[in-house]
A = this chain, B = another copy of it.
Amino acid sequence: MRKLKITGYGISLPKNKVIFNEQIRYRISAEENQLSLLVEACEKALISAKIKIEDIDCIVAACAVGVQPIPCTAALVHEKIAKGLDIPALDINTTCTSFITAFDTMSYLIEAGRYENILIVAGDVSSLALNPKQKESYELFSDGAAAFIISKTIENKGIICSAQKTWSEAAHTTEIRGGLTNFLPNNFNENTKEEYMFDMNGKAVLALSLKKLPKMMDEFLKENEISVEDIDMLIPHQASVAMPVIMAKLNIPVEKYINLVSEYGNMVSASVPLTLCLALENKKIKSGDRVFLMGTAAGLTTNMLYIKI
């Protein structure tokens, strides 16, 4: 076990909501932006952990899309919450599962004694890039952010096991093609504008997930000698309303996973940490529980992380 514990967490939800077929989706207002959500989530996490920013040893931004091409998003968060300090800041990105990848990766640095307290913040404002013509994604995604502070501990808590796989045959099933070097901003015009918008082939993602996930899950459980009964709660990425289909295929009973797609939508990188925050707040997860974080992301990447809270 890579020993660590969650010492603080916080979420940031935008002011505006929209409703599509009774499904609630969050949208930033004119006064909000990606950075303001990330900063609010971090500030709440610091309050919740009852530690000062001076006690944080590393700031990791784990967003799908950044605030600016340069510098990295973590440096811009740093400027708002840690200006004048010399805390290292870096970004880790696997799109929707960036939080799990960052949590997984940085746990090794806690285990090895490099850092004691790490602040990981995830958040996206996909509403800025949604295509009204693509109803499937337009009515699914939400804006939001969530932050966690993970800390060294001597208690019997931490990451029991984790895995990541990327299947790039689906690299183009979820994309924003324009904005960086592949398709530059200066190509923007009325004819090309959809290149800069979110473009998802949900059916293809679901089909590949249904093909790949059961085998990966099966191997992960076997290799690590875990049975579904051992898992107290599974936090899936809130990918879509098809989540129950995938959970059924993985033999996860409905009381063992949290589905908030109707209430929050798919918050991209914020979905997993926000769902985990709410579960901790609402005592659906308590100290000592064995929690399974799982998500699929553009790539197609899948992360699994099994943790004793």
Interface window among A17-25, A183-191, A231-239: A183-191
Q: Which of A59, A101, A112, A171 has the most chain B CB atoms closer than 10 A to its own CB?
A: A171
- Considering only residues 198-237 of chain A, those with a C-beta below 8 Å from chain B are 198, 212, 216
Known: A75-B171, A88-B164, A108-B109. A69 touches B179 (CB 8 A): yes
Write the A153-180 contact mask toward B (1 if CB under 8 angstroms, else 0): 0000000000011111101001111111
Cα–Cα, bound, A181→B198 (Å):
13
Known: A78-B166, A101-B90, A112-B108. A71 touches B181 (CB 8 A): no
Are A186's CB and B180's CB within 8 A?
no
Write the A102-122 contact mask toward B (1 if CB under 8 angstroms, else 0): 000110110110100000000
Cα–Cα, bound, A179→B188 (Å):
10
Known: A128-B184, A181-B66. A168 touches B92 (CB 8 A): no
A140 part of interface (Cβ distance < 8 Å): no
Q: How many copies does the complex hold?
A: 2
Cα–Cα, bound, A181→B37 (Å):
12
Known: A93-B93, A105-B105, A108-B112. A182 touches B88 (CB 8 A): no
Contacts of A95 in B (CB 8 A): 70-72, 75
A125 part of interface (Cβ distance < 8 Å): yes
Cα–Cα, bound, A279→B71 (Å):
28
Q: Is the interface of A mostly helix, strand, loop or mixed?
A: mixed
Contacts of A176 in B (CB 8 A): 68-70
Are B70's CB and A34's CB within 8 A?
no
Cα–Cα, bound, A48→B186 (Å):
38
Contacts of A240 in B (CB 8 A): none
Are B89's CB and A168's CB within 8 A?
yes
Q: Which of A88, A175, A196 has the most chain B CB atoms closer than 10 A to its own CB?
A: A88
Are B109's CB and A111's CB within 8 A?
no
Contacts of A33 in B (CB 8 A): 181-182
Q: Which of B2, B93, B125 contacts A91 (CB 8 A)?
A: B93
Q: Which of A75, A78, A169, A181 has the most chain B CB atoms closer than 10 A to its own CB?
A: A181
A298 part of interface (Cβ distance < 8 Å): yes
13 CB contacts below 8 A, A to B, read A33-B181, A68-B175, A69-B178, A69-B180, A71-B301, A82-B168, A90-B93, A90-B94, A90-B301, A105-B109, A108-B112, A128-B184, A186-B196
Shortest 3 CB-CB distances between A and B: which pairs?
A88-B164, A71-B298, A79-B168
Binding site for B on A (CB under 8 A): 2, 33-35, 58-59, 64-72, 74-76, 78-79, 82-84, 86-95, 101, 105-106, 108-109, 111-112, 114, 124-125, 128-129, 164-169, 171, 174-186, 188, 193, 196, 198, 212, 216, 297-301
Q: 10 extra interchain contacts, Cβ-Cβ under 8 A, other than A68-B175, A71-B175, A75-B95?
A: A65-B70, A66-B180, A67-B182, A76-B171, A79-B171, A89-B301, A91-B93, A93-B93, A112-B112, A180-B180
